[in-house]
Amino acid sequence: MSPRIGLDLPALLHAATEIADSQGIEAVTLASLAQKLQIRSPSLYNHINGLPDLRRQLALRGLELLADQLSREVEGRSGDDAVRAFCAAYLNFARAHPGLYEAIQRAPEPEDKLLQQAGGAVVDQVIRTMAGYGLEGDAAIHAVRAIRSLLHGFVSLERQGGFGMPLDLDVTFQLMVETFLAGVKAMRDGGAST
């Protein structure tokens, strides 16, 4: 069977992203994608090698979009301003693309160098953003882990409806980021043991 005219991997991933972002990553199946594209499921095999490959492609797309968004927002900034921009870009990505965000949380297979590289680009952006604080060695690793954990925790709780009190979530997010910045400065100045 020849590929449908106008249907290529980017178009397929765009449709799969729409499903993921509106219904969650588990709703992305070959059947749901074929239905959305108004094609038969076997036609998808002209572009992907089954559901695991489709979800892998979504993870790659998500990581590339996230890395690009983080890079754009942080470019030309440093210190606290860079960290605030990074955090806001991360949150905005997760809010705009909840399905892609979910897709990027799965650890890549050890032999999947392309997916590891894409994930590494996001981690490298975190490291570059944090570089201005002069943290080295274990302290730098702790700070990178902390910011990733804070951001993922906030995003996950927000997505799951875990913030039930009627307080502005953006204010909570800003408070969290400012608290993190104060902690990083304490680490840098020797006020916190690592």
Nearest alpha carbon to residue 104 among 121, 124, 87: 121
What's the pLDDT tens digit per position in 13-70?
A: 999 999 999 999 999 999 999 999 999 999 999 999 999 999 999 999 999 999 999 9
Which pTM was predicted?
A: 0.89
Q: Which of 88-97, 151-160, 182-191 comes out lowest in average pLDDT?
A: 182-191
What is the per-residue pLDDT for 151? Answer: 97
Phi, psi values for residue 28, rounded to 5°: -80, 105
What one-character DSSP code corresponds to residue 155? H
- Condensed to tens digits (0 to 9), the pLDDT of residues 156-182 reads 999 999 998 889 999 999 999 999 999
Domains and CATH numbers, the chain: 9-188 (1.10.357.10)
Of residues 119, 171, 183, 116, the one with CA closest to residue 147? 183
Q: Rounded to the nearest 10 degrees, how much is the dihedral formed by the CA atoms of 106, 15, 51, 159? A: 30
